[in-house]
Structure 1
Amino acid sequence: MQNNWSHHLHQLLGALAGCLLIGFLIGYPLPALTVGLIGYLTWSMVQSRRLYQWLSNPDVDRTPPQSVGLWGDLFDNLHKLHLKNRKTEEKLRTQINRVRESTNAMRDGVIMTDSEGTIEWWNGAAERLLGFREKTDLGQYIQNLIRSPDFKRYFYSKNYEEPLELNSPARPHIRLELQINLYGDNDRMIVAKDVTRLYQLEQMRRDFVSNVSHEMRTPLTVISGYLETLEDNADDLPPKWRRAVHTMSTQSSRMEALITDLILLSKIEIGEQAYDDHLNDVTGILEKIVHDAQALSGEQEHVIQLEITDHRWLRGDEGQLRSAFSNLIFNAVKYTPAGGTITVTWSADSAGGQLSVKDNGIGIDPIHIPRLTERFYRADPSRHQDTGGTGLGLAIVKHVLLNHDGKLDIRSRMGQGSEFICHFPANRLVQRKPEALTPNGNSFENGDPGASPNNNARPGATPDKVEPRG
Structure 2
Amino acid sequence: MRNHWRHYVRLLVYSLLGCIIVGLIIGSVAWALVFGLTAYLGWTLTQAFRMHRWLYQAKMEDPPESRGLWGDLFDGIHRLQVQHYRSRDRLQAMIDRIQESTNALKDAVVMTNSEGAMDWWNQSAEKLLGFKYPTDRGQLIYNLIRTPIFKRYFASKKYQEPLILNAPNNPNLKLQFHITLFGEDDRLLLVQDVTRLYRLEEMRRDFVSNVSHELRTPLTVISGYLETLIDNADELPPRWNRAMNQMQQQAQRMEALVNDLLLLSRIENDGSNFKATLVDVDSMLRAICDDARALSQEKGHRIELSLESAAGLTGNETQLHSAFSNIVMNAVKYTPPNGEIRVRWFEDKKGVHFAVRDSGIGIDPLHIPRLTERFYRADPSRAADTGGTGLGLAIVKHVLINHDGELEITSHIGAGSTFTCHFPRTRMASAEALAEAEDVRD
TM-score (norm 2): 0.95
Where does residue 127 of structure 2 map in the other structure?
A: 128
Query: Residue deviations 1:366-395, cap 9 Å, x none?
Result: 110000000000111110111110000000
Q: How far off is 1:117 after superposition?
A: 2.2
Where does residue 427 of structure 1 map in the other structure?
A: 426
Where does residue 82 of structure 2 map in the other structure?
A: 83
Query: Given the alignment of the two structures, is residue 109 of structure 1 paired with residue 108 of structure 2, yes or no?
Result: yes
Where does residue 298 of structure 1 map in the other structure?
A: 297
Query: Residue deviations 1:425-468, cap 9 Å, x none?
Result: 12222322288xxxxxxxxx54x479757xxxxxxxxxxxxxxx
Query: Is the CA contact 1:315–1:429 (under 8 Å) kept in the aligned structure 2?
Result: yes
* Backbone CA RMSD of aligned residues: 1.9
Where does residue 457 of structure 1 map in the other structure?
A: none
Query: Is the CA contact 1:54–1:65 (under 8 Å) kept in the aligned structure 2?
Result: yes
Query: Is the CA contact 1:262–1:392 (under 8 Å) kept in the aligned structure 2?
Result: yes
Instruction: Please give the alpha-carbon distance, in whole angstroms, between the structure 2 residues aligned to 1:450 and 1:94.
Output: 72
Q: How far off is 1:209 after superposition?
A: 0.6
- Secondary structure at 1:259 match in 2: helix
Q: Compared with structure 1, are the counterparts of its residues 334 and 125 closer, same or farther at alpha carbon in structure 2 (3 Å cutoff)?
A: same
Q: Compared with structure 1, are the counterparts of its residues 254 and 273 closer, same or farther at alpha carbon in structure 2 (3 Å cutoff)?
A: farther
- Secondary structure at 1:209 match in 2: helix
Where does residue 440 of structure 1 map in the other structure?
A: none
The one-letter amino acid of 1:116's match is E
Where does residue 42 of structure 1 map in the other structure?
A: 42
Superposition pairs of residues 439-450 of structure 1, within 5 angstroms: 445-446=435-436, 448=437
Instruction: Please give the alpha-carbon distance, in whole angstroms, between the structure 2 residues aligned to 1:450 and 1:180.
Output: 46
Where does residue 395 of structure 2 map in the other structure?
A: 396
Q: Which has the higher relative contact order, 1 or 2, with Cα contacts under 8 A spaced 6 or more apart? A: 1
Q: How far off is 1:78 after superposition?
A: 0.7
Query: Is the CA contact 1:310–1:347 (under 8 Å) kept in the aligned structure 2?
Result: yes
Q: Which runs of 5+ in 1 are unaligned?
A: 436-444, 454-470
Q: How far off is 1:58 after superposition?
A: 4.7
Instruction: Please give the alpha-carbon distance, in whole angstroms, between the structure 2 residues aligned to 1:285 and 1:226.
Output: 36
The one-letter amino acid of 1:284's match is S
Where does residue 415 of structure 2 map in the other structure?
A: 416
The one-letter amino acid of 2:9's match is L
The one-letter amino acid of 2:375's match is F
Instruction: Pick which of 152-161 and 416-425 moved more.
Output: 152-161
Query: Is the CA contact 2:272–2:402 (under 8 Å) kept in the aligned structure 1?
Result: no
Q: Which runs of 5+ in 2 are unaligned?
A: none
Query: Is the CA contact 2:272–2:403 (under 8 Å) kept in the aligned structure 1?
Result: no
- Secondary structure at 2:410 match in 1: strand
Query: Given the alignment of the two structures, is residue 28 of structure 1 paired with residue 37 of structure 2, yes or no?
Result: no
Instruction: Please give the alpha-carbon distance, in whole angstroms, between the structure 2 residues aligned to 1:342 and 1:23.
Output: 111
Where does residue 368 of structure 2 map in the other structure?
A: 369
The one-letter amino acid of 1:396's match is I
Instruction: Please give the alpha-carbon distance, in whole angstroms, between the structure 1 residues aligned to 2:217 and 2:379.
Output: 31
**Structure 1 vs Structure 2: percent identity of aligned residues?**
55
Where does residue 322 of structure 1 map in the other structure?
A: 321
Q: Compared with structure 1, are the counterparts of its residues 274 and 216 closer, same or farther at alpha carbon in structure 2 (3 Å cutoff)?
A: farther
Q: How far off is 1:109 after superposition?
A: 1.0
The one-letter amino acid of 1:250's match is Q
Instruction: Please give the alpha-carbon distance, in whole angstroms, between the structure 1 residues aligned to 2:168 and 2:178.
Output: 16
The one-letter amino acid of 2:415's match is Q
Where does residue 382 of structure 1 map in the other structure?
A: 381
Instruction: Pick which of 375-384 and 273-282 moved more.
Output: 273-282
Query: Is the CA contact 2:128–2:167 (under 8 Å) kept in the aligned structure 1?
Result: yes
Query: Is the CA contact 1:278–1:451 (under 8 Å) kept in the aligned structure 2?
Result: no
Query: Residue deviations 1:309-337, cap 9 Å, x none?
Result: 11222222211111111100100110111
Instruction: Please give the alpha-carbon distance, in whole angstroms, between the structure 1 residues aligned to 2:185 and 2:3.
Output: 47
Query: Is the CA contact 1:279–1:451 (under 8 Å) kept in the aligned structure 2?
Result: no
Query: Is the CA contact 1:280–1:451 (under 8 Å) kept in the aligned structure 2?
Result: no
Query: Is the CA contact 1:276–1:318 (under 8 Å) kept in the aligned structure 2?
Result: no
Query: Residue deviations 1:165-193, cap 9 Å, x none?
Result: 11222333221101111222222111111
Q: How far off is 1:160 after superposition?
A: 1.4
Where does residue 357 of structure 1 map in the other structure?
A: 356
Q: Compared with structure 1, are the counterparts of its residues 58 and 200 closer, same or farther at alpha carbon in structure 2 (3 Å cutoff)?
A: farther
Query: Is the CA contact 2:271–2:402 (under 8 Å) kept in the aligned structure 1?
Result: no
Query: Given the alignment of the two structures, is residue 152 of structure 1 paired with residue 151 of structure 2, yes or no?
Result: yes
Instruction: Please give the alpha-carbon distance, in whole angstroms, between the structure 2 residues aligned to 1:169 and 1:314.
Output: 33
Where does residue 19 of structure 1 map in the other structure?
A: 19
Query: Given the alignment of the two structures, is residue 51 of structure 1 paired with residue 51 of structure 2, yes or no?
Result: yes
Instruction: Pick which of 223-232 and 356-365 moved more.
Output: 223-232
Q: Compared with structure 1, are the counterparts of its residues 24 and 273 closer, same or farther at alpha carbon in structure 2 (3 Å cutoff)?
A: closer
Query: Is the CA contact 2:339–2:360 (under 8 Å) kept in the aligned structure 1?
Result: yes
Instruction: Please give the alpha-carbon distance, in whole angstroms, between the structure 2 residues aligned to 1:415 and 1:324.
Output: 25
Query: Residue deviations 1:87-137, cap 9 Å, x none?
Result: 111111111111112212222110112222222211122222223222433
Q: Compared with structure 1, are the counterparts of its residues 280 and 250 closer, same or farther at alpha carbon in structure 2 (3 Å cutoff)?
A: same
Where does residue 283 of structure 1 map in the other structure?
A: 282
Instruction: Please give the alpha-carbon distance, in whole angstroms, between the structure 2 residues aligned to 1:452 and 1:301.
Output: 38
Query: Is the CA contact 1:228–1:249 (under 8 Å) kept in the aligned structure 2?
Result: yes
The one-letter amino acid of 1:352's match is G
Instruction: Please give the alpha-carbon distance, in whole angstroms, between the structure 2 residues aligned to 1:273 and 1:167.
Output: 17
TM-score (norm 1): 0.90
Superposition pairs of residues 101-250 of structure 1, within 5 angstroms: 101-250=100-249
Q: How far off is 1:276 after superposition?
A: 4.1
Q: Compared with structure 1, are the counterparts of its residues 451 and 117 closer, same or farther at alpha carbon in structure 2 (3 Å cutoff)?
A: farther
Query: Is the CA contact 1:278–1:450 (under 8 Å) kept in the aligned structure 2?
Result: no
Instruction: Please give the alpha-carbon distance, in whole angstroms, between the structure 2 residues aligned to 1:159 and 1:275.
Output: 26
Query: Is the CA contact 2:347–2:353 (under 8 Å) kept in the aligned structure 1?
Result: yes
- Secondary structure at 1:160 match in 2: coil
